[in-house]
Structure 1
Amino acid sequence: MAAQQIKFGTDGWRGIIADDFTYGNVRRVAQATAQYMKSRSNDPLAIVCYDCRFASEDFAQAVADIFASNGIKTLVFDRPSPTQVASWTVIDRKATGAVAITASHNPYQFNGYKYKTETGSAVPSEVIAELERTINSLDDVPAPDHKVGHGFVSSYDPRPHYYAQISRMVDLDAIKNAGLRVVHECMYGSGYGYIADMIGGGRTVVTELHNQRNPLFGGINPEPIPPNIDSTIAMMKVGNQDLCICTDGDADRVGIIDESGRFINQLQVFALLMLYLFEARGMRGPVIKTVNMTAMVDKLGAEFGERVFEVPVGFKNVAPKMMETNALLGGAGKPISQILAGLEQRVGPHAYARHDIHLQRDTYESDRKRIIETLQQNEPNEIAGVAVQRVRSDDGFKFYLADGSWVLLRASGTEALIRIYSEAADGEAVEARLRALEDIVGVRQHATAS
């Protein structure tokens, strides 16, 4: 029987546990990764981390065993940790690369394999192509004898060095002593403990929610958006808290809830961070955003005289462009609601929503192709009564409209679903644009709001 074909998505390879995400396939991917790392260094060092999903630590050990059998020294994290901690550890330890066993914000049935290069960044497309060729040329990779790799694998606590790096970037002592009341919605993910360690312990109090290990994620997707965080929003509306930070399954995706219980989506968080770096800290440089990211970034770039580059979705596309352009940003004294109000005064009102079209996994490729071809054949000149000014089609179809709003349809690279996104001045306008595009491709009845 031929080995199963492995294909990387927007950020690594993901699959259904015990279906295509198996120990056998993980060993194949790890073997290809080991060969790639050995081509990059005569004395490679690998980092391996994992999240809180079912058997993630066991899959991580399987990866470490393959690396060790190839003579690669490997540091395996001693607890579930955020993916970005692995990225920093690559830099800190001058490692050749890192593997994170995680499916990020995917449903609980999934697990995944992310690879980070010697720069700590996501793997660029040309390296992904090389890895896929090697993986798919391999048949069965047997589990190695543990004795073969003896002395090559070590347990490693990444937190002290990671905390030290964050303290060089942010005044953690000032936050600790600010007397803030911060909630961290961990979503049963690997970020538990990190925020509390860094900013708690002084006058600031950090309250963690859902910080236990639960591979079922409480029956929700570990993605920090409504309705997955509705109970946390309700808690914040009661009051007596200053801020809630919500992190996803591997804590590399964030949502914010302000002191009034208002959810601040990832687009707004990105724009707020950009404004903070430009205005409060006086930093300058290009900014990279993906096609599903906010137009607020373009307006801020114009205001501050900095270029904004738009790339397809995925860290694999963001990271190379950041390095190419020496970008500042890719991906303080007031209540968060006031800071957000100030942002909207500068860039105008903002509303955003995403609809997910869930498809059958076994027919996904044909269904996806049919939907994309339908849109190609019926490409609109106007959407919801607003003229289309231009179209981008290298990662789905993004329609830029005459009033500055946009709507995007793209196929997920990690799940069997089509996503439709829109940003406009108000929620009604957003929904009108989403519905119009759904009607064109005939999927309105399958759409669910996110």
Structure 2
Amino acid sequence: MEHISFGTDGWRATLDTFTEPRVRMVGQAVADHLRAAGDPGAVAVGYDARDTSRGFADALAEVLADNGFEVLVSERDCPTPVLAWTVRDRGLAGGLMVTASHNPPEYNGVKFLPPGGAPALPEVTDDLEDRLAEPTALPEADRGTVREDTFTAAYCQHAVDFAADPDLDGLRIAYDAMHGSGRGVTDDLLAAAGASVERLRTDRDPTFGGESPEPTAERLGDLVARVTEGDADLGFANDGDADRLGVITPERGSLDPNLLYAVLYDYLLDSGTGGAVRTVSTTSVIDRIAEAHGERAVEVPVGFKWVAEGMREHDALVGGEESGGFGITAHLRNKDGVLLALVLAAAHAERPLDERADDIEAEFGEIHQGRVSVTCPDDRKAAVLDSLDGDLPETIAGVAVADVGTADGFKVFLEDGTWLLVRPSGTEPKLRVYAEADSAERVEELLAAGSDLVEPRV
């Protein structure tokens, strides 16, 4: 049990730790959690393209069925957002997704999705950890059944309807599945809307080509080349479980996720209303866009579970984080790199994303961010952060302090609209120092000032 811990987004571990007996204990915990909540409904189980994922999914399904639940198992590996939307759409008791997302192939993981399909909050995951136990089984007559189901068909029809049946005729899109579960879903959805789709790495490779299936610029060289050299108008890439999206444009290449969020929010405001939710490390340009439309941006801690909760509490239009995860509230309070590709393709068909990004930068300023680490023992992290409260200089890097936020770590807002954030690493004995400004040079100044502020306190 000591090896099982639900972090920011489920339990992930290398395969020497992530074993079938422990996965079955998670299944028992979920069964007991649902039974205690009085929810006897069906449970959906999905899994990603890793070699071991289907076997772990079958183990979870067996434990749940032995505890009396009807279980629907995806007939093939599927994107996490497809499973999450299925839980919401069918009113299921919950869902279990076997995935390590963008982690390398030697990892696997599992996340629990409560009713509604949003990420589980700590009160749920804490309860699951408390209920970890060896599996039990009801008498045979009281057990549930397991059957395969197709989750993607209904999801894709919903996506087309949600995006108002976009016309992508004539649009050339290059799509990189990174050998993950977006293959045959994101690309087929774009093609069904009329786009001409060139498919890259859409074969199933459980090793993801020997690297992490993370859609960062350095891992998308072929995709970037196809778009920037004129062979495609737009490029999309999903991570391993397709809840995140990388976007490639002709002028910018790999579009910075902060700027992508700004483009998405601005586009959605063309036809909708509502605020935006962002994490503490996501660009403040979102706030300026919201204010210009008479809306409000809400800041939450890092982790999409907090973004999703903010979307619910504030009835926001959209939520996102700088790591490339975005959700549209009316669709699903969870990250979705599949539907987002269709929505952004529709936006590009109306007006190129590069033009939209140009206009945002001209009106609201360029986005430049950076991060450095300061070594700090785990038992000193809280004390260092506490010491900053009430002990700040009046100016940092030559600019007056305007406000302080403590939603996650310690964040200093300066009067020129820039900010400096110090928060603890959840995995290493380090404090992370983040900064945002309107130039790379200014970011470096802020990071240096932030390090100078923190290091003497460690």
Does the alignment reach a TM-score above 0.5?
A: yes
Superposition pairs of residues 58-97 of structure 1, within 5 angstroms: 58-97=55-94
User: Which residue of structure 2 lines up, in the alignment, with residue 213 of structure 1?
Assistant: 204
- Structure 2 residue 35 is the aligned partner of structure 1 residue 38: yes
Q: CA RMSD in A?
A: 2.9
SS in 1 for 2:131: helix
SS in 1 for 2:217: coil
Q: Which one is further off, 373-382 or 221-230?
A: 373-382
1:51 counterpart letter in structure 2: D
Rounded to whole Å, the distance in 1 between the matches of 2:305 and 2:95 is 14
Deviation at 1:170, TM superposition (A): 0.9
Deviation at 1:122, TM superposition (A): 0.9
Rounded to whole Å, the distance in 2 between the matches of 1:36 and 1:187 is 35
SS in 2 for 1:200: helix
- Structure 2 residue 279 is the aligned partner of structure 1 residue 266: no
Relative distance call for 1:419 and 1:72 in structure 2 (3 A) is farther
Relative distance call for 1:355 and 1:219 in structure 2 (3 A) is farther
- Structure 2 residue 159 is the aligned partner of structure 1 residue 170: no
- Structure 2 residue 174 is the aligned partner of structure 1 residue 183: yes
Relative distance call for 1:168 and 1:415 in structure 2 (3 A) is farther
- Structure 2 residue 285 is the aligned partner of structure 1 residue 296: yes
Q: Kindly provide the CA deviation profile for residues 336-364 of structure 1, in whole angstroms up to 9, marking residues without a partner as x.
A: 1111111112211222345578x9xxxxx
Rounded to whole Å, the distance in 2 between the matches of 1:390 and 1:431 is 21
Rounded to whole Å, the distance in 2 between the matches of 1:413 and 1:247 is 25
User: Which residue of structure 1 lines up, in the alignment, with residue 340 of structure 2?
Assistant: none
1:316 counterpart letter in structure 2: K
Relative distance call for 1:55 and 1:411 in structure 2 (3 A) is farther
Relative distance call for 1:224 and 1:167 in structure 2 (3 A) is same
The TM-score with structure 2 as length reference comes to 0.84
User: Which residue of structure 2 lines up, in the alignment, with residue 7 of structure 1?
Assistant: 5
Consecutive unaligned residues in structure 1, runs of 5 or more = 360-365, 444-450
SS in 2 for 1:330: strand
- Structure 2 residue 140 is the aligned partner of structure 1 residue 152: no
- Structure 2 residue 246 is the aligned partner of structure 1 residue 255: yes
Q: Which one is further off, 399-408 or 238-247?
A: 399-408
Superposition pairs of residues 327-366 of structure 1, within 5 angstroms: 327-331=316-320, 332=347, 333-354=350-371
1:41/1:96 contact within 8 Å kept: no
1:338 counterpart letter in structure 2: E
Rounded to whole Å, the distance in 2 between the matches of 1:417 and 1:250 is 29
2:73/2:148 contact within 8 Å kept: yes
Q: Kindly provide the CA deviation profile for residues 65-104 of structure 1, in whole angstroms up to 9, marking residues without a partner as x.
A: 1111111111111112111111110122221101111122
2:172/2:233 contact within 8 Å kept: yes
Rounded to whole Å, the distance in 2 between the matches of 1:148 and 1:380 is 66
Number of residue pairs the alignment of both structures matches:
425
2:62 counterpart letter in structure 1: D
Relative distance call for 1:120 and 1:200 in structure 2 (3 A) is same
Deviation at 1:293, TM superposition (A): 1.5
Q: Which one is further off, 242-251 or 219-228?
A: 219-228
1:64 counterpart letter in structure 2: A
Rounded to whole Å, the distance in 2 between the matches of 1:417 and 1:187 is 31
Deviation at 1:30, TM superposition (A): 1.4
Rounded to whole Å, the distance in 2 between the matches of 1:406 and 1:205 is 42
The alignment-based identity, stated in percent, is 36
Relative distance call for 1:325 and 1:202 in structure 2 (3 A) is closer
Superposition pairs of residues 100-111 of structure 1, within 5 angstroms: 100-111=97-108
Deviation at 1:253, TM superposition (A): 1.2
Consecutive unaligned residues in structure 2, runs of 5 or more = 321-346
Deviation at 1:42, TM superposition (A): 4.9
User: Which residue of structure 2 lines up, in the alignment, with residue 425 of structure 1?
Assistant: 438
